[in-house]
Structure 1
Amino acid sequence: MNLSEPLKQRIEALVRSDRVVLFMKGSRRFPQCGFSGAVVQILDAVLPSYTTVNVLEDPEIREGIKAYASWPTIPQLYIDGEFVGGADIIREMRESGELAQKLGGAAGGGGEVKAPKITISEAAKRAFTEAAAEAPGELLRFEVSPRFEYGLFFGPRAEGDIEVDAGGLTVLVDPASARRADGVSIDFVDGPEGAGFRIENPNEPPRVRQLSVRKLKEMLDAGERFEFVDVRTDKEHAIARIAQAKLLDQAELERLEALPKDTPIVFHCHHGGRSRSAAEAFVGRGFSKVYNLEGGIDAWSVAVDPSVPRY
């Protein structure tokens, strides 16, 4: 690809917008590929702040940055306006200590990472206390990945750990997780699908949430208020339907788009694939409480209502 002068100027402005700039897929809070997530995790461990450019939002920048650096892949890291490398090179530089040298005063700038506030319910404390008896000498660890995937387990203390007093229970977090864990609440719940920990994190960006057919039935039986949308074709809807679901046509689409962005919306299709795509599109439009029915109407027929025809 040949860079036009206007595109080159746009890229140079982005490259020099901060001392450390990462061109990536997704954002620092929510990387959308494993390589981008790996570099974010490396940078988060040493930098309190840096700039990220989401190439998925601008196809011109996505292709242009490859020509600009003569580097065929994303992510790409720039320090002081200089191209440093992609994921593998950054990983090698981290391990050799070269990355810390390259960052110089940027690393660790902005002060020490503060201990996050973590709230643990009494039910969760009891569960952790019981589990601690099986792990003598180890402490509860909480990890939050760049993609907001959670690790909650007992393990030894590690260098750089931050100790959090969660209402009398000690929790260890690494510096990168600490930045994503502030304000987290952890509960222990026991329902029809079994017991487990429920984590609520105000830092987590909106994403499509998977909803089981049994949980959907509970919501319907309880009279909970939410929009329930069938994204299948007219023909499929005529063969089998869940009574409360509305077929997504143009009029329904326009009605949904006009609703408040915090309106709960559940999408379903035959097996869950098409509805997930529709749900992701609504997250992209700014809706924050979007659900996809796992297994679709087929799972509903198998597990909840066998009177609904399978096809």
Structure 2
Amino acid sequence: MSLSEPIRARIATIIRESDVVLFMKGTRTMPQCGFSAAVVSILDEHLPEYQTVDVLSDAALRDGIKEFSSWPTIPQLYIRGEFIGGCDIVKELHATGELVKALGLAHGEGQAPPTLRVTAAALAAFAAAKESEADFVHIEIDPSYNYGLYFGPRQAGDIEAQAGGAVFLLDRASARRAEGLSIDFVEGPSGGGFKLESPNEPPKVKQISSAALKALMDGGEAIELFDVRTEQERKIARIEGARHLDQAGQRHLETLAKDARIVFHCHHGGRSQAAAEHYLAKGYRNLYNLQGGIDAWSQDVDPSVPRY
């Protein structure tokens, strides 16, 4: 298929207007294929900003970029107007360090270390766990703000941050996400563990126990409780005050403020988690999922609610 001049001009403009452009399936925050997700993950390690183009939203563009580059697959990466390649090539360049050069970056150069807050309890726990003077605490933060801590030697490209007299090492992408990160060590019923919190973390669906939900309801707290189960299930068992998330319930929910406290429940917690994630993507910021669903409510709060 020949490439039309309007599509050619459109693609050329997109490539010209940004230093780094990734034509992909989906978006940077929601890739729609594993190959696109892999390239996004690599670029996120090196760049805070770059342009992505969702080819799934435009069939003409999806076919056109393949003709434009004479490359049959998606994703496709361009750097300063030059076609770099697809997923396998980007992964190879990343592994050899050539991608950093192509992006015009020196590992760690010019990137300020993040400011960390580390409690005395965490510092003591790190000191007790450290086995070698050559080991440092490495901090990893992925795009979804899942945290990782491990001991290991210094690696090329590590960003060094200091807090409380201790040295912490982060890759470039984690260092950008770590500004203001607090690290604590807390004791729990099954032992101690590190607790990491970042002011940059996007909203997440929070989990709430049946006892905590009951306390909120008894305290007269403002709360919207939605039941995502079928009407047949609701005929078997209900939590008093829960609104069915049918069409009428959805219309009501969409009238609520984005910061309204909203709790979803189902039978055991799976469907309600999915519903909460759906509304999180719509911009609602104060969402909860009832752990264990109505089954936990029946066992822990109100035995008069039938189990099924």
Confirm or deny a common fold (TM above 0.5). yes
Structure 1 unmatched ranges of 5 or more: none
Larger of the two Rg values belongs to structure: 2
Does residue 196 (structure 1) correspond to residue 190 (structure 2)? The answer is: no
Counterparts of 1:74 and 1:266, CA distance in 2 = 39
Tell me which amino acid in the other structure corresponds to 1:69: K
Q: What does 1:1-311 align with in structure 2 at a 5 Å threshold?
A: 10-24=10-24, 28=28, 34-47=34-47, 49-53=49-53, 55=54, 59-61=56-58, 64-69=61-66, 73-103=73-103, 106-108=104-106, 112-132=110-130, 135-137=131-133, 138-191=135-188, 195-209=192-206, 211=207, 215-221=209-215, 223=219, 225-301=222-298, 307-311=304-308
Could you say if the C-alpha distance between residues 26 and 292 of structure 1 is closer, same or farther in structure 2, counting changes exceeding 3 Å?
farther
Confirm or deny: 8 A CA contact 1:157 1:172 kept in the other structure: yes
Counterparts of 1:14 and 1:129, CA distance in 2 = 51
Tell me which amino acid in the other structure corresponds to 1:117: T
Could you say if the C-alpha distance between residues 6 and 301 of structure 1 is closer, same or farther in structure 2, counting changes exceeding 3 Å?
farther
Confirm or deny: 8 A CA contact 2:108 2:157 kept in the other structure: no
Number of aligned pairs? 301
Confirm or deny: 8 A CA contact 1:76 1:84 kept in the other structure: yes
**CA deviation string 1:253-280 (max 9, x = no partner):** 3332232322232212123333233212
Give the stretch that moved more between structures: 175-184 or 261-270.
261-270
- Tell me how far 1:19 sits from its aligned partner: 1.4
- Tell me how far 1:107 sits from its aligned partner: 2.7
**CA deviation string 1:268-308 (max 9, x = no partner):** 21233332332122112111232333443335446665553
Counterparts of 2:36 and 2:307, CA distance in 1 = 41
Could you say if the C-alpha distance between residues 75 and 170 of structure 1 is closer, same or farther in structure 2, counting changes exceeding 3 Å?
same
Confirm or deny: 8 A CA contact 1:47 1:108 kept in the other structure: no
Identity in percent: 52
Confirm or deny: 8 A CA contact 2:185 2:194 kept in the other structure: yes
Counterparts of 1:279 and 1:60, CA distance in 2 = 25
Counterparts of 1:308 and 1:288, CA distance in 2 = 30
User: 3-state DSSP class of the match of 1:130?
Assistant: helix
Structure 2 unmatched ranges of 5 or more: none
- Tell me how far 1:142 sits from its aligned partner: 0.7
Counterparts of 1:102 and 1:176, CA distance in 2 = 17
**CA deviation string 1:207-249 (max 9, x = no partner):** 434x26xx34234325465432211122211212233533224
- Tell me how far 1:117 sits from its aligned partner: 1.4
Tell me which amino acid in the other structure corresponds to 1:40: V
**CA deviation string 1:103-155 (max 9, x = no partner):** 3xx334996111011222344334334333xx232222111123332111222
**CA deviation string 1:166-189 (max 9, x = no partner):** 233332212221011112222334
